[in-house]
């Protein structure tokens, strides 16, 4: 915490020095969304280059003066929280003055900018995200306050903890981890008692694009158990994008890649080639939208696809057919096909990429 306080004090000192010299104070932040600032490393995923381009948030420019003020406001809130060892969610910060901040996304972006500017992970700034992910299966752990959580003994789901860093005593007999894209599929697998039928496993869903805590938990489970991690996604560009976030990270959070990515993640399904192999009826598939085409084209250009020839092939199949499918399409074969046939066969015969 002394490191965090010192980093904030240095920023404020810079502001005061500028004022003392009759200069307009400026905050310098990295261009987090610029692909030119990102490099791809097999072992880490997408990470920010050390000499990245920056942008200035000036206090004397009408376009950025408000953002400058909001950054100082949030820095002061973080400073107080670190000093008093209290925590707040990004939502708490927004609701502390909704008129001032204007929207939740403004708060989210500023917190990420501050984290990147100070080179300090967001958790160390005492800012927590509201968690939306779920976890179930063969796992137990203790939360920071000592609460014991046992996911193993019931078919209930547990919310991913809001302070993943603080959980300890993780134990599991799981043979693998299954990341499920959507809540509906996750619930279906729970209802079918999948995680105890095939072999003990841990199931996680970020319920769409994963939040930070879900990604941190996946990484923590990988560090703790070093067991295979598979993804079960829709066979569409959006599903592929989500899988890539878990595996290689996102551009906007590339400055934290080392804590968030798990490059060993495998693509289990639903593969575009599965649709042909299983003779899924064409009528059950969904035609691409223009947005799907653009998304797929942008994914195909990304640096990590070049080193995944098998993935590349699957994306080419998808691009050629211009058709996509949700995991639920397997119910056209039989209501429990996913948990009774598809997943057990894939896991037994190595049907992943």
**What pLDDT is stored for residue 230 in this prediction?**
95
pLDDT tens-place string over residues 51-76: 777 888 888 888 888 989 999 999 99
**What pLDDT is stored for residue 222 in this prediction?**
92
**What pLDDT is stored for residue 310 in this prediction?**
92
**What pLDDT is stored for residue 34 in this prediction?**
75
**What pLDDT is stored for residue 235 in this prediction?**
92
In the set 95, 141, 248, 304, the catalytic residue is 95
CA triplet 218, 221, 226: central angle to 5 degrees?
115
Delimiting residues of CATH 1.10.10.10 domain(s) in the chain: 2-128
Phi, psi of 103 (to 5 degrees): -155, 160
**What pLDDT is stored for residue 41 in this prediction?**
80
SS3 content of the chain, % helix, strand, coil (to 5): 50, 20, 30
What string of pLDDT tens digits covers the 353 residues of the chain?
788 899 999 999 999 999 999 998 888 888 877 777 787 888 788 887 777 778 888 888 888 889 899 999 999 999 999 999 888 888 898 998 888 899 999 998 899 888 888 888 877 888 887 788 999 888 989 888 888 888 886 667 888 888 888 888 888 898 999 999 998 898 888 888 887 777 888 999 998 899 888 999 999 999 999 999 999 999 999 999 999 999 988 877 777 777 788 889 999 988 999 988 888 888 888 898 999 999 999 888 888 888 888 999 999 999 998 989 999 888 888 888 888 889 998 888 888 88
Helix axes 237-248, 212-225, angle to 10 degrees: 60
**How far is Cα 254 from Cα 32, in angstroms, rounded to an integer?**
8
pLDDT tens-place string over residues 185-198: 988 888 888 877 77
**What pLDDT is stored for residue 155 in this prediction?**
67
**What pLDDT is stored for residue 331 in this prediction?**
85
Delimiting residues of CATH 3.40.1360.10 domain(s) in the chain: 134-349
| Structure token pair of residue 325 | 């499918």
Could you say which architecture CATH assigns to the domain 134-349? 3-Layer(aba) Sandwich (3.40)
Any catalytic annotation for residue 95? yes
Cis status, amide bond into 270, omega within 30 of 0: yes
Beta-carbon contacts of 53 under 8 Å, excluding residues fewer than 6 positions away, are 30, 31, 34, 36, 37
CATH 1.10.10.10 assigned to 2-128: yes
Beta-carbon contacts of 10 under 8 Å, excluding residues fewer than 6 positions away, are none
Please choose, from the candidates 199, 206, 198, the residue with its C-alpha nearest in 3D space to the C-alpha of residue 159.
206
**What pLDDT is stored for residue 179 in this prediction?**
94
């Amino acid at each position: 915490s002394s490191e965090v306080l010192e980093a904030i004090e240095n920023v404020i000192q810079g502001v005061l020095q500028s004022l003392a010299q009759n200069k307009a104070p400026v905050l310098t932040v990295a261009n987090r969304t610029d692909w030119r600032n990102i490099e791809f490393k097999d072992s880490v995923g997408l990470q920010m280059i050390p000499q990245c381009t920056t942008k200035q948030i000036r206090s004397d420019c009408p376009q950025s003066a408000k953002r400058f003020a909001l950054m100082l406001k949030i820095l002061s809130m973080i400073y107080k929280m670190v000093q008093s060892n209290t925590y707040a969610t990004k939502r708490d910060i927004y609701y502390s003055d909704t008129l001032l901040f204007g929207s939740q996304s403004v708060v989210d972006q500023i917190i990420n900018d501050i984290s990147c500017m100070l080179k300090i992970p967001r958790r160390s700034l005492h800012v927590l995200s509201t968690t939306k992910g779920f976890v179930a299966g063969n796992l137990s752990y203790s939360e920071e306050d000592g609460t014991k959580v046992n996911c193993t003994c019931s078919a209930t789901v547990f919310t991913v903890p809001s302070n993943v860093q603080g959980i300890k005593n993780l134990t599991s007999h799981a043979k693998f981890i299954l990341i499920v894209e959507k809540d509906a599929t996750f619930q279906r697998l729970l209802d079918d008692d999948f995680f105890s039928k095939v072999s003990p496993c841990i199931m996680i869903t970020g319920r769409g694009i994963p939040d930070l805590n879900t990604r941190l938990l996946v990484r923590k489970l990988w560090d703790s158990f070093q067991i295979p991690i598979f993804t079960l996604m829709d066979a569409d560009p959006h599903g592929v994008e989500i899988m890539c976030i878990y595996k290689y990270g996102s551009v906007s959070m590339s400055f934290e890649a080392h804590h968030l990515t798990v490059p060993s993640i495998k693509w289990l399904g639903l593969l575009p080639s599965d649709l042909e192999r299983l003779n899924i009826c064409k009528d059950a598939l969904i035609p691409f939208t223009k947005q799907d085409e653009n998304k797929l084209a942008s994914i195909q250009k990304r640096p990590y696809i070049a080193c995944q020839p098998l993935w590349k092939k699957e994306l080419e199949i998808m691009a050629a057919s211009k058709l996509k499918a949700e995991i639920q399409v397997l119910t056209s074969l039989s209501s429990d096909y996913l948990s009774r046939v598809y997943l057990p066969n894939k896991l037994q015969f190595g049907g992943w990429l």
